[in-house]
Amino acid sequence: MTNGNYILRQVARYGLIYAIVTLFAVFAALPFFQMLVIAFKSDADFNNPRENIPFWFNEAPTNEHLTYLLEETQYLTFIWNSLLIGVFVVGITLVFATPAAYSLARLTGRQGERLGILIFLVYLIPPTLLFIPMSRVVSFLELQNSKWALVVIYPTFTIPFCTWLLFGFMKTIPKDIEEQAMVDGYSRFGAMLRVVLPLALPGLLTVVVFSFMLTLHEYIYALAFTTTSSEKPISVGVTTELVRGDVFFWQSLMAAAVFVALPIAVIYNLFLNRFVSGLTMGAVKG
Amino acid sequence: MSVVETKALVKRFGDVVAVNSIDLRIEEGEFLVLLGPSGSGKTSLLRMVAGLEKPSDGQILIGGKDVTFMPPRARNLSMVFQSYALYPHMNVFRNISFPLKAEGLPYEERKKKVEWAASIFGIEHLLHRKPRQLSGGQRQRVALARAVVREPGVFLLDEPLSNLDAQLRATARDEIKQFQRRIGTTTIYVTHDQVEAMGMGDRIAVMHLGNMHQLGTPQELYREPADTFVATFLGSPPMNLVKKDSCIIGFHPEHFLPEDVLHPETATFSFAFEVTRVEYLGADRFLYGMVQGAEGPTRIISKVPSLVTLNFEAGRKYTFVVQESDLKYFDHASGKRIPPLPFTTVEPTAQAVVS
Ligand SMILES: Nc1ncnc2c1ncn2[C@@H]1O[C@H](COP(=O)(O)OP(=O)(O)OP(=O)(O)O)[C@@H](O)[C@H]1O
Ligand SMILES: [Mg+2]
């Protein structure tokens, strides 16, 4: 009897948990689904929302907008630009943030954490404030209207952000281990390379993912510093080329967004836990 | 196998003087124990010898060479940390061969040496495990194997046994001592456990608040403590100290015995000992109680061997004596050892207590 009760209660419990989780999952997936549906809607179907339900096809789906996106805009170039910018910015970020985070984590006392927070604050300065002074820098470097301007500018916010993120990871690596490596015959740099970095690998991967994301969805700098289509990254390219005056090419826009958003959503989810723990680690264990 | 010397070595952390002008000379093949309570500067001293901490002042010589400003890797020593500091991302084999890799040894030679080191500590069957799959005792052995594999000139061990349970600790103590004897490497061993220190050290340096109070063999420290700190830090139970008018007198609990037990012809010093508690510990009895000191009653302990069959009851007074030759005299103010005062100047007080 009691056993039966127990099983019943467990079923009810997990039933409830799964119901709630499913609800949230559906809620989170709905925009993606909506985008996919719209991407393949015909104009007639899309422009008649009063009679047609927006969530499904009322007329046969069409791929004409996808074709338009691929053939009439430089969609693939945008993606390529974003990738290129992303890869370079990630590289630059790793080169600067790793040693910075390492040395902050190894400072004695709480100085490291305070400095880390100061550096993180830089990340919070909005680009709307900075893009005018930045344009001086860009023109000084003669990078106007070039994706390379973004490669130079993006590290100004990815480095502070990722330094803080890595700081949390580095803090959790015991100092003993690298000192042991130094006694075992390695220089401090050698110890960092062979012991600290392998142990910080989850943190480094997280940095790769998140600095890439940060560059991918950046809008204001990209809008300010790239004007030729062939130089635009995806965030600006799609929104400027598929919105002409007050005409929105909705289906093509949705298609452009969803094919970039889906893979990112998947990767993001894989890293979310680590990301959160990385952000809070330094603060809690400091 | 090298001689290690420190000359007027000082380490300050801000206002804290962690190590205060230490002069030490550790001979070739010697097993030196740094003994002291928590915060006495043992780790700081060891880390300076290792090169992990820069001295604020003074010099360090290894094998006659001044290494004060050399990085750890130039000092040809190995260290075992209290945490063992195994590399978590490497298996045991790679952990042990890591120092050899730094020397650029080819794989075949590394393999041979790792197997040799592993066999010393009986961990050949663990070579493929990751550190997290090992017990505390196994980790300690891996750390030791990694320390010996390079055949360094000096071993530094910082409380390597403190993470083990009591039973393992006793066997590990024996093992470390034995293999050190066998390979004869100069060793500095840090501990706050005086039993460990007495059992293992060829010589012991007793430290307290950054100062070295005494350096000597276990027997010397026990028989001839340099001051009241050393006297009360060593031995279990430690030396009894009783304040007298002109000095402090000290005597070991096993020398503080009932009047009838000692030979009548030896010169003795007697106390009225009020027993408050009796503890039976098999081979010995510990009697806890009070005697009258210059500044009122003082708690002291007597360790009576089981050969003595006299009966003692809590709450009663007995006459206990110490042979005059077993008495140590310390200065009131500094706590430093002083030469024996003429017996007669002290005796009246003692006699007064007895009567
Ligand atoms: N990195 C540091 N920064 C500031 N003070 C320190 C530092 N390391 C040690 N100290 C101080 O120096 C003194 C000696 O410390 P040390 O670690 O050498 O003692 P210890 O004898 O090894 O103690 P324990 O038995 O607890 O390990 C202590 O007062 C300690 O607070
Ligand atoms: Mg210590």
Is the separation of the CB atoms in B10 and B17 below 8 Å?
Answer: yes
Among the partner-chain residues B72, B83, B150, the one whose CB lies closest to the CB of A176 is B83
Q: Report whether residue B193 contacts ligand 1, using a CB cutoff of 6 Å.
A: no
Domains of chain B: 4-223 (3.40.50.300), 238-354 (no CATH)
Interface test with A, best of B11, B97, B98 (most A CBs within 10 A): B98
- Which tokens is A141 given? 């470097």
Nearest-Cα distance to chain B for A204, in Å, is 15
pLDDT value for A59: 80
Backbone angles phi and psi of A245, in degrees to 5:
60, -120
pLDDT value for B354: 39
Strand partners, A227: none
- Residue B77, classed as helix, strand or coil, is strand
Dihedral sign from CA coordinates of A39, A44, A50, A53: negative
Nearest-Cα distance to chain A for B152, in Å, is 10
pLDDT value for B347: 43
- B102: contact with A, CB 8 A cutoff: yes
With 0-12 CB in 10 A as exposed, 13-18 as middle and 19+ as buried, what is A221?
A: buried
A122, A135, A119, A127: which is closest to A219 by C-alpha? Answer: A127
B335, B353, B261, B254: which is closest to B301 by C-alpha? Answer: B254
A190, A155, A172, A152: which is closest to A279 by C-alpha? Answer: A172
Nearest-Cα distance to chain B for A172, in Å, is 13
Measured distance CA(B246)–CA(B89) in Å, rounded: 63
H-helix segments, B66-193: 92-102, 107-120, 136-148, 166-183
Measured distance CA(B27)–CA(B33) in Å, rounded: 12
- Which tokens is A21 given? 């989780």
Is the separation of the CB atoms in A112 and A105 below 8 Å?
Answer: yes
Interface test with B, best of A108, A180, A192, A197 (most B CBs within 10 A): A180
- Which tokens is B290 given? 């009070």
Strand partners, B16: B13
- pLDDT tens-digit profile, chain B (355 residues): 689 999 999 999 989 999 999 999 999 999 999 999 999 999 999 999 999 999 999 999 999 999 999 999 999 999 999 889 999 989 999 999 999 999 999 999 999 999 999 998 889 999 999 998 998 889 999 999 999 998 899 999 999 888 888 888 888 888 889 889 888 899 999 999 999 999 999 999 999 999 999 999 999 999 999 999 999 999 888 999 998 888 899 999 999 988 888 776 777 888 899 999 999 888 889 999 999 888 888 999 999 988 888 888 888 999 999 988 889 999 988 889 988 876 544 443 444 343 3
What size, in residues, is chain B?
355
Q: What is the ipTM of this complex?
A: 0.83
- Which tokens is B288 given? 């806890």
Distance from the Cα of residue B94 to its chain's centroid: 33
Q: Which residues contact A191 (CB under 8 A, 6 or more apart)?
A: A178, A179, A181, A182
Measured distance CA(B164)–CA(B140) in Å, rounded: 9
Backbone angles phi and psi of B160, in degrees to 5:
-70, -10
Among the partner-chain residues A185, A187, A188, the one whose CB lies closest to the CB of B99 is A185
Is the separation of the CB atoms in B310 and B258 below 8 Å?
Answer: yes
Is the separation of the CB atoms in A226 and A232 below 8 Å?
Answer: yes
Q: Which residues contact A266 (CB under 8 A, 6 or more apart)?
A: none
Residue of chain B whose alpha carbon sits nearest to that of A201: B89
Q: Is B50 close to A183, i.e. CB distance below 8 A?
A: yes
Q: Report whether residue B36 contacts ligand 1, using a CB cutoff of 6 Å.
A: yes
- Which tokens is B323 given? 């042979």
Ligand 1 center to B45 CA (angstroms): 10
Q: Is B73 close to A186, i.e. CB distance below 8 A?
A: yes
Minimum-distance ligand 1 atom for the alpha carbon of B42: 21
Among the partner-chain residues A176, A187, A190, the one whose CB lies closest to the CB of B85 is A176
Is the separation of the CB atoms in B270 and B321 below 8 Å?
Answer: yes
Ligand 2 center to B118 CA (angstroms): 27
Rounded to 10 degrees, what is the CA torsion of B320, B322, B324, B325?
160
- Which tokens is A147 given? 């994706």
A98, A271, A101, A114: which is closest to A171 by C-alpha? Answer: A101
Find chain B residues with C-beta within 8 A of A190's C-beta. 102
**Ligand 1 atom 5 nearest Cα:** B13
Distance from the Cα of residue B277 to its chain's centroid: 29
Find chain B residues with C-beta within 8 A of A195's C-beta. 87
For ligand 1, pick from B6, B9, B10, B13 the residue to mutate: most ligand atoms within 8 Å of CB.
B13
Task: Give helix A155-171 / helix A201-216 axis angle, nearest 10°.
Answer: 160
For ligand 1, pick from B6, B16, B196 the residue to mutate: most ligand atoms within 8 Å of CB.
B16
pLDDT value for A283: 42
pLDDT value for A60: 81
Is the separation of the CB atoms in A143 and A184 below 8 Å?
Answer: no
Is the separation of the CB atoms in B123 and B141 below 8 Å?
Answer: yes
- pLDDT tens-digit profile, chain A (286 residues): 567 788 889 899 999 999 999 999 999 889 999 888 888 888 888 887 777 777 788 888 888 888 888 888 889 999 999 999 999 999 999 999 999 999 999 887 788 888 888 988 988 888 888 888 888 999 999 888 889 999 999 999 999 999 998 998 888 888 899 999 999 999 999 999 999 999 888 889 888 988 998 899 899 999 889 888 889 999 998 888 888 888 888 888 899 999 888 888 888 888 777 666 665 554 433 3
**Ligand 1 atom 29 nearest Cα:** B39
A197, A43, A128: which is closest to B87 by C-alpha? Answer: A197
